[in-house]
Chains A and B, each alone.
Chain A
Amino acid sequence: MENLSPHFPALIIIVPLIAALLTSAAGWLNRRLCFHFAALGLFTSLLVSTGLLASVLDKDVILYRLGGWPAPWGILYRIDRLNGLVLVVIFFIAFLNLIANKRTVEESFPEQLGGFYALYVLFVTGLSGMVATGDAFNLYVLLEISSLTGYALIGIGHERAPLAGLNYLFMGTIGASLYLLGIGFLYLMTGSLNMTDIASLLPGFYGSPVMVLAFLLCMTGLFIKMALFPLHAWLPNAYSFSPSASIGVIAPLTTKVMIYVMIRMTFDVFTPDFSFKMMHLGEVMVWLAVAAIIMGSLFALAQTRLKRMLTYVIIAEVGYMVGGFWLGNRMAVTGAVLHILNDAVMTLCIFLAAGAVVYQICGDDFEDLKGLFRKMPISMAAFTVAALSLIGVPPTCGFFSKWYLISGGIAAGHYGFVVALLFSSLVNAVLFFRIIEIGYFEPFSEGEGGHGVHHGPPAMEIREAPAGMLACLLLAAVSLIVLGIYTGDIVTRIIDLAIPPAI
C-alpha cells in the first residue's frame, strides 16, 4: 500500500478498466465471477479515491505523469480537492447501485451478465477519467467511452429504448464533436492540449474571436451532454425507458460529471478571468438556467409516470447548478459545487427507490403506487427522505445547497434565479407530496388486472424489495442526512479551498 500511494491517480482509472476487461472475459468463461470482478474493481477504486481525497487535503494538488513524460508533451493527471471529492462520489454511487441492482441485472440479462457489468464498469471508468484528467483531448476520449457505453446501457431497455438510445447517440455525438472542435480551435491558437498549459498561454489571446468561438463550442457541447434546457430533448425518453440498473448510475452521474467538466473548463482552461469577466455570458446563462428550472418543473408536473417525472426533475436540477455557477459569486459557486455532490446522491436514492418499486410492482404509473407505504414501508421511507431532500427540507442535504444557491442569488441581486428556485422547490413539494399521498392514503388497488396493461404480481404478493437492494437504499438515504449534517465541514475544508480566489 505504501509504495502504491504515489500511483493512486492512475490506479483509480486503471483498476476499474482492468476489472471491466476481466468481467467481460469472465462472462464467457465463468459467469458467476462477473459480479465479483465488477464489485471488487469498483470497491477498490472507492477505497483508492478516498485515500486520494485524504492526501489531496494535505497536499493541495497531486500531479501524475502518465508514461513519465512532463506536462505539455505527455498526459498529466491533476487531482485537486474538487475532483478528489467528485471522484469519491462517482465511485460511491456506482458501487452502491451495482450492489443494489445485482438481482435485477441477473434477471434481465441472465446470458449477458459479463457484457452488462463490463459496460457498467467501463462507463464509470470513463466518467472518473474525465474528472481526473488534466489533458483536454484525453477528456474527449474518456467522454466518448462513457457516452458509448451509456448509449448501450440505455439502448438495451425495453419499449422505445433503442429509438431513444439512437436519438441520445445523435445528440451526444454532436455534443462531443462540438467539444472536440472547440479543443481544436484552442489547439490551433495555442498549440497545446494540456489544460494548465493552455491556461498559461491564454492571456495572449484574450481579444481573439477564435478563443470566444472555442469557448462557445466547448460550452455548447457540454450543455448538450448535460441536457441544459433548450438542448434537453434527448434526456426524458432515454432515461425513462432504460433498465433500472443502468439508469441508477447514468442519471445521478452523467449530468453532474458534465457540470463538473464545465466548471473545470471554465476554471482551469479558460481561466475565471476570461470566462466570467470577458465573455459577458453570465447573465444569459443564468436566464437559461432559470428557463431550465421553470420548464423542467412544469413538465414534471404534467407527467403521470414516476420515472418520467423524475427525468424532468433532473432537468430542473441541472438548471440549479448551471445557474448557480454562472452567477459567479463565491456563495453561489459554492452552492453549485455542493449541489453536484448532493444532487448525485439524491438522484441515486430516488432512482434506487423508484427502481425498487418498479421491480416489485412492474410498473411506475401513479395508479400503481396506491397503498405502497403499507406494502413496502422501508423503501417508501427512503423515497420520502430523498423527496424531502429534493424539495429542500432542513435535516437533509438538499436544503443546504439550495440555501447557498439562494443566498448566492440574493448576493448577486439576481432575483429571477431566486424566484425560480423557490418556484421549483414548491413544485417539487407538490410532486412528491402527491406521490406520498397516493402511496400513503389511497387504498391498495386490489382488483387484479384493474390496470390491465401491467401483468404484475397479484396484489397480495407485493412485499418489500430484496434485502440487498433495501440495504443500499437505506445507506443512500442515511448518507443524504449525513451529508446534510457535515455540510459545514465539506464547505470549509474542501470546497472553499477548491474555488479559485479570483471569484
Chain B
Amino acid sequence: MGVELFSDIASKYNYLGVVILMMIGLYAMIAKNNLVKKIIGMNIFQTAIILFYVSTAAKRGATIPIIRHGHNGHGHEVIHAAEYINPLPHVLMLTAIVVSVATLGVALALAVKVYHQYGTLEEDEIRGQLRNK
C-alpha cells in the first residue's frame, strides 16, 4: 500500500498540486473576511483548474504543438501525433484564462462600488452597517 501510494504520488504529483491549490482558493473564498482576499481566492481556484487542464495535455517525449518546417502549407514529412503535445487543452484554457480575467474585472468593479458605498471592504463591518440601518 505504501509503495503504491508513493508511486501514485510520484507519477501524479501535478494533480496533487492542483488539488492543494484548489483547496487554498476555496478556503480563501469561504473563510476570508476581506472581499479583495475573496477575489484573490477565486482567482487561485480558477488558476488551479487551468493548471489541471493544461497538465492533461502533457505527453512524455513530445514538444510544443507548433509543426516544424511547415511554412509552405503542406508539411514535407509525415507528422506523428506522439511528437507533439495535445493542443486542445491549451486552446480551452486560453478561453478559461480570458473568462477568469473578465470575471476578475467585473468582481473588482463591484468591489470598488461596494467600497464607495460602505467605506470598507471587510465583510463583517459591512454586515454591521447593514444591521444598524
Which residues of A come within 8 Å of B, CB atoms? 137, 140-141, 144, 148, 151-152, 155, 160, 162-163, 165-166, 169-170, 173-174, 177, 180-181, 184, 187-188, 193
A155 to B111, CA, bound (A): 10
A411 to chain B, nearest CB (A): 40
Other A-B contacts than A162-B114, A166-B114, A180-B49, 15 sampled, CB-CB below 8 A, are: A155-B110, A162-B113, A162-B117, A166-B35, A166-B107, A169-B110, A170-B38, A174-B26, A174-B45, A177-B46, A181-B49, A181-B52, A184-B49, A184-B52, A187-B89
Q: Is the CB of A173 within 8 A of B114?
A: no
Q: Is the CB of B113 within 8 A of A180?
A: no
Which residues of B come within 8 Å of A, CB atoms? 22, 26, 29, 35, 38, 42, 45-46, 49, 52-53, 56, 88-89, 92, 95-96, 99, 102-103, 106-107, 109-111, 113-114, 117-118, 126, 130
User: What are the 7 closest A-B residue pairs judged by CB atoms, nearest first?
Assistant: A162-B113, A166-B110, A144-B99, A162-B114, A188-B56, A155-B110, A165-B110
Closest to A141 in B: B95
B13 to chain A, nearest CB (A): 16
A169 to B111, CA, bound (A): 11
A140 to B92, CA, bound (A): 10
- By a CB distance below 8 angstroms, the chain A residues around B99 are 141, 144
Closest to A155 in B: B110
- If the complex has contacts A144-B99, A177-B45, are A187 and B110 also in contact, measured as CB distance less than 8 A? no
**Interface SS of B by simple majority:** helix
- By a CB distance below 8 angstroms, the chain B residues around A148 are 102-103, 106
Closest to B89 in A: A187
A268 to B98, CA, bound (A): 28
Q: Is the CB of A173 within 8 A of B49?
A: no
Contact of B46 among A152, A155, A173, A187 (CB under 8 A): A173
Q: Is the CB of B130 within 8 A of A160?
A: yes
A166 to B121, CA, bound (A): 12
- By a CB distance below 8 angstroms, the chain A residues around B26 are 174
Q: Which of B26, B110, B117, B118 has the most CB of A within 10 A?
A: B110
Q: Is the CB of A170 within 8 A of B29?
A: yes
A137 to B130, CA, bound (A): 40
- By a CB distance below 8 angstroms, the chain B residues around A170 are 29, 38, 42, 107
- By a CB distance below 8 angstroms, the chain B residues around A160 are 130
- By a CB distance below 8 angstroms, the chain B residues around A137 are 92, 95
A151 to B102, CA, bound (A): 12
**Interface SS of A by simple majority:** helix
A429 to B49, CA, bound (A): 46
Q: Which of B88, B102, B103, B118 has the most CB of A within 10 A?
A: B103
A170 to B28, CA, bound (A): 11
- By a CB distance below 8 angstroms, the chain B residues around A169 are 103, 106-107, 110
A151 to B114, CA, bound (A): 14
- By a CB distance below 8 angstroms, the chain A residues around B109 are 155
- By a CB distance below 8 angstroms, the chain A residues around B89 are 187
A165 to B35, CA, bound (A): 12
Q: Is the CB of A184 within 8 A of B102?
A: no
A188 to B22, CA, bound (A): 18
- By a CB distance below 8 angstroms, the chain A residues around B22 are 181
A140 to B99, CA, bound (A): 10
- By a CB distance below 8 angstroms, the chain B residues around A165 are 110
A145 to chain B, nearest CB (A): 9
A151 to B110, CA, bound (A): 9
Closest to A168 in B: B110
A188 to B18, CA, bound (A): 14
A155 to B110, CA, bound (A): 7
Q: Is the CB of B106 within 8 A of A151?
A: yes
A223 to chain B, nearest CB (A): 16
Closest to A149 in B: B106
- If the complex has contacts A162-B110, A162-B113, are A173 and B52 also in contact, measured as CB distance less than 8 A? no
A217 to chain B, nearest CB (A): 11
A216 to B29, CA, bound (A): 21
Q: List 9 A-B contacts (CB under 8 A).
A: A144-B103, A163-B117, A166-B111, A170-B29, A174-B45, A177-B46, A177-B49, A180-B49, A181-B22
B108 to chain A, nearest CB (A): 10
A501 to chain B, nearest CB (A): 33
